[in-house]
């Protein structure tokens, strides 16, 4: 049986064995659930294409799109490419200032016609009507690149950028 057949046979419920070092790492108690209308293995090893109502759910992140391609092992991918109208990503980011403190989780949302997540650098690239939301702040542009670890972005594209900042109560 192929790897895809095994995953589909398991209902795409995958326990993982990593830590929460970045948004695609989980601990052994976490479960990843993937659903879509169709799935097929690519010509390359460890490439899976999903089409129609793609959703990936995990305790600390969520992806949805019309289609997705996962590069690498499903339980620990190297790269994920989402396409949709719009494709969406939601995750919790540790906003703690020092490693010794308890995690301070904040919600981060992204949407665009195309979202690419690069695990090795823990970066997002969103293109086509891209929006990034953190706390009560929102950034919109044609292209947004976001470094999750550094919490830094760059934005550009036709039509410029739009930033909405709401004063915090801190």
Q: pLDDT tens per residue, the chain (170 residues)? A: 333 333 333 333 333 333 333 444 444 456 778 999 999 998 989 999 999 999 998 877 899 999 999 999 887 789 999 999 999 999 877 666 666 567 667 789 999 999 999 988 989 999 999 999 988 899 999 999 999 888 899 999 999 999 999 877 55
| Predicted local confidence at residue 79, as pLDDT | 93
How far apart CA 115 and CA 82 sit, in angstroms, is 5
Q: How many CB atoms lie within 10 A of CB 44?
A: 7
Q: How many CB atoms lie within 10 A of CB 67?
A: 18
CATH for the stretch 3-164? 2.60.450.10
The count of residues in the chain is 170
138 C-beta neighbours (distance < 10 Å), count: 15
Question: Tokens standing for 104?
Answer: 């301070």
DSSP characters over 31-78? EEEEE-SEEEE-SSTTEEEEEEEEEEEETTEEEEEEEEEEEEETTEEE
Answer for the pair 77, 63: CB distance below 8 angstroms, yes or no: no
The whole-number pLDDT of residue 12 equals 38
* Confidence (pLDDT) at 7: 37
């Amino acid at each position: 049986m192929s790897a895809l057949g095994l995953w589909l046979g398991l209902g795409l419920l995958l326990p993982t064995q990593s830590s929460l070092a970045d948004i695609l790492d989980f601990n052994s108690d976490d479960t990843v659930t993937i659903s879509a209308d169709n799935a097929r293995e690519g010509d390359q090893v460890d490439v899976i294409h999903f089409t129609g109502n793609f959703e990936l759910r995990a305790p600390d992140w969520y992806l949805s799109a019309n289609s997705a391609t996962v590069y690498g092992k499903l339980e620990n991918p190297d790269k994920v490419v989402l396409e949709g109208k719009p494709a969406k990503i939601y995750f919790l980011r540790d906003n703690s200032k020092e490693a010794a403190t308890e995690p301070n989780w904040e919600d981060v949302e992204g949407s665009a016609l195309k979202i690419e997540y690069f695990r090795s650098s823990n970066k997002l690239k969103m293109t086509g009507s891209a929006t990034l939301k953190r706390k009560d702040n929102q950034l919109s542009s044609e292209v947004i690149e976001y470094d999750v670890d550094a919490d830094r972005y760059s934005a550009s594209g036709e039509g410029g950028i739009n930033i909405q900042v709401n004063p915090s109560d801190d």
